[in-house]
Amino acid sequence: MTFKSFLPRSLFGRAALILVVPIVTIQLVVSMAFIQRHFEAVTRQMTDSIVVELAYALQMVDDAPSAEIARVRLERMGPGLDFTAWLPSETPMPEADLRRFWDLSGREVIDTLRAGLPGVQAVDLETTPREARIWIDTRFGLLELVADRRRASATNPHQLLVVMLATSLVMTLVAYVFLRNQLRPITRLATAAEAFGRGRHVDYRPSGATEVRAAGHAFLDMRARIERQIETRTALLSGVSHDLRTPLTRMRLELALMPEGPETDALREDVGQMERMVEEFLTFARGDALEDPQDVEVSALVRKLVDTAARTNQPVTAGEVGRARVPLREQAIQRALQNLVDNGLRYGSRVRVGVDVTAKSIRFVVEDDGPGIPAAQREEAMKPFTRLDAARGQNTGGGVGLGLAIAADIARSHGGLLRLGDSADLGGLKAEIVLAR
């Protein structure tokens, strides 16, 4: 655990912390300085006035010829000096001075009483908070005095602390509202950027501070350039598709008119492979840019894929299938899953398709019983035009190395990823398309 792990992760939390910490620190410093200097000084002055009065009363007790006369003098002076006295003491004296730990001024009261009255034996400010009970040693015995605590401590400084606390709460609320209004445009920008990264178009209009507006306009320009680039690439590939398919169709027609033979069969196979290569390349280059996301039931998507494979007698079964409706490009996900299934059938004899649904993610799983891909070559396998023949069979299949690349590209366009691993049940490759919910 480091210090950074305790800090807030959001920009709002960090900005609030930057505002709150200085305010709290300043209040603590000012409060401590006020209590230590002003509050304690006022308490010392007020206690000194009590010390003068009590010193006069003690002098009258010491000058009395008897203890009875001393008690009479204390009774006469008590109402005028606002204290009550017992000679000798009627209450047991504590072994040490008593005060509550949060009574900051009590320490100053005790120190001033002991400094001004050398005969003080103990001071109790805890038993009755509104009273100061003092035990003083005299020549007639232990004298117990009770004075009003309010005469020794100022009460209005607590009002200042309350005002400071209330003001800080109000200013914190104002800062919260201000920060929320300032950070809202950043949140909207982040939402629009995240949606665009997942292939969704969210309406966004720059607002907020100048810097945030500049970032918003830069994002809009970037999004427009990317969209124009995708449109240009799609239009270009449509033309390329037409230009390439026309001569291939003419070649296939000419082959149909030629007499049957080994050379004709070989040429027909080459033309078919060229058509598959062109179609696979165009699929990879086109991606899913022309399709809008829609709410899709992922279980129905997997069932449809398995049913289609069953009609063509392909060994594709359904594994664990969860249920959830999420915004997806249905045709693109079907294309990615179909590529993974075809890849599994090309190198194995069985394929299993499933979908795992959690609160935070959707995980499409395609497993086969083929030879798999070594861990060190899995990143390379997802690159375009990469064929790992040493791992998946030298003479197996007729792909051009775009099946995994297409699936990875579609996963990235949805804000997810393609993850390759080992199938624990079938023993071959396990391909997972992981999408955040």
Q: What is the CATH number of the domain that holds 271?
A: 1.10.287.130
Check residues 120 and 163 and name the one with the higher pLDDT: 120
pLDDT of residue 1: 61
User: How does the average pLDDT of the chain come out, rounded?
Assistant: 82
pLDDT of residue 396: 46
Q: Are residues 306 and 349 in the same domain?
A: yes
Integer Cα distance of 361 and 371 in angstroms: 28
pLDDT mean over 99-128: 86
Q: What are phi and psi of 68, to 5 degrees?
A: -65, -45
Q: What are phi and psi of 318, to 5 degrees?
A: -95, 130
Given a contact cutoff of 8 angstroms between Cβ atoms, the answer to whether 70 and 140 are in contact is yes
| Residue 26 amino acid letter | I
Contacts (Cβ under 8 Å, ≥6 apart) of 256: none
Query: Pick from 286, 318, 339: which residue ends a domain?
Result: 286
* Domain total in the chain: 3
- Confidence band of 221 (pLDDT split at 50, 70, 90): very high
* Residue 426 domain flag: yes
Q: Are residues 335 and 267 in the same domain?
A: no
Query: Pick from 221, 255, 286: which residue ends a domain?
Result: 286
Q: Are residues 216 and 352 in the same domain?
A: no
- Confidence band of 248 (pLDDT split at 50, 70, 90): confident
Instruction: Identify the CATH number of the domain in which residue 372 sits.
Output: 3.30.565.10
Share of the chain above pLDDT 70, in %: 88
* Distance (Å) of CA 237 to CA 234, 284, 285, 403: 5, 11, 8, 18
* Residue 141 domain flag: yes
pLDDT in tens, 267-318: 888 888 777 777 766 665 555 555 677 888 999 989 999 998 888 888 999 8
pLDDT of residue 418: 92
Nearest partner of 152 among 40, 277, 290, judged by Cα: 40
Integer Cα distance of 184 and 165 in angstroms: 28
Check residues 14 and 4 and name the one with the higher pLDDT: 14
Q: Are residues 301 and 333 in the same domain?
A: yes
pLDDT of residue 394: 39
pLDDT in tens, 328-338: 888 888 888 98
Contacts (Cβ under 8 Å, ≥6 apart) of 169: none
Q: Given the DSSP bridges, would you call strands 316-321 and 325-328 parallel, antiparallel or unpaired?
A: unpaired
Q: Are residues 300 and 418 in the same domain?
A: yes
Q: Are residues 27 and 46 in the same domain?
A: yes
Check residues 168 and 120 and name the one with the higher pLDDT: 120
383 is in which domain, residue-wise? 290-436
pLDDT mean over 237-265: 80
Residues paired with residue 434 on neighbouring β-strands, in sequence order:
363, 417
Residue 156: pLDDT above 60? no
Residue 64: pLDDT above 70? yes
Q: Are residues 278 and 294 in the same domain?
A: no
pLDDT of residue 122: 92
Reported for 62-68, long-range contacts at CB under 8 A and 24+ positions apart, including other chains, are 62/138, 62/139, 64/140, 67/140, 67/141
Integer Cα distance of 187 and 181 in angstroms: 10
Q: Are residues 113 and 249 in the same domain?
A: no
| Residue 6 amino acid letter | F
- Tokens 């232990």, located at residue: 142
Residue 392: pLDDT above 70? no
Q: Are residues 341 and 235 in the same domain?
A: no
* Residue 148 domain flag: yes
pLDDT of residue 319: 85
Q: Are residues 251 and 363 in the same domain?
A: no
Given a contact cutoff of 8 angstroms between Cβ atoms, the answer to whether 430 and 421 are in contact is yes
Check residues 433 and 402 and name the one with the higher pLDDT: 433
Lowest mean pLDDT among 37-41, 46-50, 184-188, 225-229: 37-41
Check residues 167 and 362 and name the one with the higher pLDDT: 362
Q: Alpha carbon 354 to chain centroid distance? A: 31
- Confidence band of 395 (pLDDT split at 50, 70, 90): very low
* Residue 258 domain flag: yes
Residues paired with residue 435 on neighbouring β-strands, in sequence order:
362
pLDDT of residue 393: 44
* Residue 297 domain flag: yes
pLDDT of residue 313: 86
- Confidence band of 429 (pLDDT split at 50, 70, 90): very high
Q: Are residues 331 and 369 in the same domain?
A: yes
> What is the model's pTM?
0.50
Prior bond of 92 cis (ω within 30°): no
* Residue 178 domain flag: no
Contacts (Cβ under 8 Å, ≥6 apart) of 11: 183, 186
Q: Given the DSSP bridges, would you call strands 351-357 and 316-321 parallel, antiparallel or unpaired?
A: parallel
pLDDT of residue 106: 83
Query: Pick from 157, 186, 215: which residue ends a domain?
Result: 157
pLDDT of residue 278: 74
* Residue 162 domain flag: no
- Confidence band of 259 (pLDDT split at 50, 70, 90): confident
* Residue 166 domain flag: no
Q: Are residues 227 and 325 in the same domain?
A: no
pLDDT of residue 420: 92
pLDDT mean over 31-46: 76
